[in-house]
Amino acid sequence: MVSFVNALLYGVGGIVMAGMALLVAFQEKLVYVPVLPGLTKSYSITPSRLRLIYEDVWLRSSDGVRLHAWFIKLFPDCRGPTILFFQENAGNIAHRLEMVRIMLQRLHCNVFMLSYRGYGESDGYPSQHGITRDAQAALEHLSQRTDIDTTRIVVFGRSLGGAVGAVLTKNNPDKVAALILENTFTSILDMAGVLLPFLKWFIGGSGSKGPRILNFLVRSPWSTIDVVGEIKQPILFLSGLQDEMVPPSHMQMLYAKAAARNKHCKFVEFPTGMHMDTWLAGGDQYWRSIQEFLAEHVRKKKESETSGNDNDHHEV
C-alpha cells in the first residue's frame, strides 16, 4: 500500500513538473502566434490589393515600442462608425483583410487594424502587459483624429482580440461607444485545460474545481470573465457553435457575467460557425446582427443636437 501511495505521489509530482516545464517554455508560443506555419512574418497582401482606401499608421506605445497599423476607409469622407479591430492570436492583420473588406461594405464604417507588438511590421515581443499598452495607443490615436466621428468608436475583438478589446473598453468608458466580442475565451487559465487537458486540475479560472497551484506561472492570464462584468458600454456577443478552438460555453459564460450587470448586452449564435469562419458561415445574419446593434447603440447625432439643441432624437 505504501509503495502504491508513493507511486501515486511521484506520478502526480511528475505531471505537475511536466506542466510547469511546458508552461515556462511554451506558453507564449501557445498564446501568441505572429507567424503561421510555412509563412513569413511580413504581410502577404496590403489593402491596396483589394482596392481599399487606406493609410499606413505608425504609433508609439507608452513604453516606446514602435507599432504599425492600417486605417482603412470606405470612402475618403466616411463619417460612419470607426471599428477598432483586434485580431486572433495567429497570423497578422493581412490575413483578415477579406473579412474587413466585407465589413466596410456591409457596415459603412472605417476600420483601424492594429498589429500587436511582435506581429506584422510592429517591433517588440507580445505579452499581456505590452499588448494592453498597444491597444491604448491605437485608441488614443483614433480619439485625436479629426477626420472621423470620435463618438462612434467601436471595439471589435475576435478570440484573443476579444480579451484585448474587453480590457480596453473597460478602461475607456468615455472613448469607446460599444464592444463586439466574437469567439472569445473566459481566460487563458481556462484555455490551458482545453489545450492541455491534463493541466485542468492545476490551472484554471475562478470557476475551476482544481487546486490551481500552477496559475502563478501563467504570464498572460487574459481573464476576460473578470473584466466583462465591469464594462458599462453595450456589448454584442457573436458565438460560433462549431468553434473547435474555444468552447462555445466560454461565450455563454461571458454573456451571463456581463448581462447580470449590463442591460445593453445581446447574444447571437451561429450554428455552423467555427473559430475562424463565423463571419463567413453566419452569412447575412452575421452582418445584420451587427448592423442592428450599431443602429441601436452607436447612433449618429443630428446636426441640431451637435450644435447645442437639447433634442434627444437620433438618426442611424
Can you give the CATH number for the domain in which 123 is found? 3.40.50.1820
Total domains in the fold of the chain? 2
Give the residue-averaged pLDDT of 33-43. Answer: 88
Let me know if 206 is a catalytic residue.
Answer: no
Picking from 120, 122, 119, 87, the residue whose alpha carbon sits closest to that of residue 103 is 87
Q: What is the largest CA-CA distance in the chain?
A: 83
Do residues 233 and 203 make contact, with C-beta atoms less than 8 angstroms apart? no
Structural domain boundaries enclosing 18: 1-31
Mean pLDDT of the chain: 87
pLDDT at 313: 36
C-alpha 245/C-alpha 89 separation (Å) is 12
pLDDT, tens digit, for every residue of 122-179?
Answer: 999 999 999 999 999 999 999 999 999 999 999 999 999 999 999 999 999 999 999 9
The candidate with the shortest Cα–Cα distance to 122, out of 54, 210, 60, is 60
Give, as one character, the DSSP assignment of residue 302: P
Decide if 147 is catalytic.
no
pLDDT for position 75: 86
* DSSP bridge pairs for 265: 235
If asked whether residues 130 and 163 sit together in one domain, one would say: yes
Give the single-character DSSP code of 33: B
Q: Are residues 231 and 281 in the same domain?
A: yes
CB 50, CB 105: distance < 8 Å: no
| 21 and 54 share one domain | no
| Domain-embedded: residue 204 | no
* 77-136 pLDDT per residue, tens: 888 999 999 999 999 999 999 999 999 999 999 999 999 999 999 999 999 999 999 999
Residues 100, 137 share a domain: yes
Residue 19 lies in a domain: yes
Q: Are residues 21 and 166 both part of a single domain?
A: no
**Do 194 and 261 meet the contact criterion of CB atoms below 8 Å apart?**
no
* Residue 24: inside a domain: yes
SS3 49: helix
pLDDT tens digit string along 254-287? 999 999 999 999 999 999 999 999 999 999 999 9
Residue 94 lies in a domain: yes
Each residue's pLDDT tens digit, 206-254: 666 667 767 777 788 999 999 999 999 999 999 999 999 999 999 999 9
* Residue whose C-alpha is closest to residue 187's, from 9, 31, 28, 22: 31
> Which residue in the list 239, 243, 250, 289 is annotated as catalytic?
243
> Residues 108, 264, 275, 297: which is the catalytic one?
275
The span from the CA of 168 to the CA of 153, in Å, is 12
Query: Does residue 20 sit in the same domain as residue 165?
Result: no
Taking residue 269's Cβ as centre, other Cβ atoms within 10 Å add up to 16
Q: Cα separation of 219 and 313, whole Å? A: 47
The CA distance from 116 to 91, in Å, is: 11
Q: Does 173 lie in the same domain as 67?
A: yes
Tell whether 207 is covered by a domain.
Answer: no
Share of the chain above pLDDT 70, in %: 83
Per-residue pLDDT at 37: 85
Main-chain dihedrals φ then ψ at residue 59, nearest 5 degrees: -125, 165
> From the candidates 159, 187, 239, 289, which is the catalytic residue?
159
Q: Residue 3 has what pLDDT? A: 62
C-alpha cell at 28: 507564449
Note if 264 is an active site residue: no
pLDDT of residue 275: 96
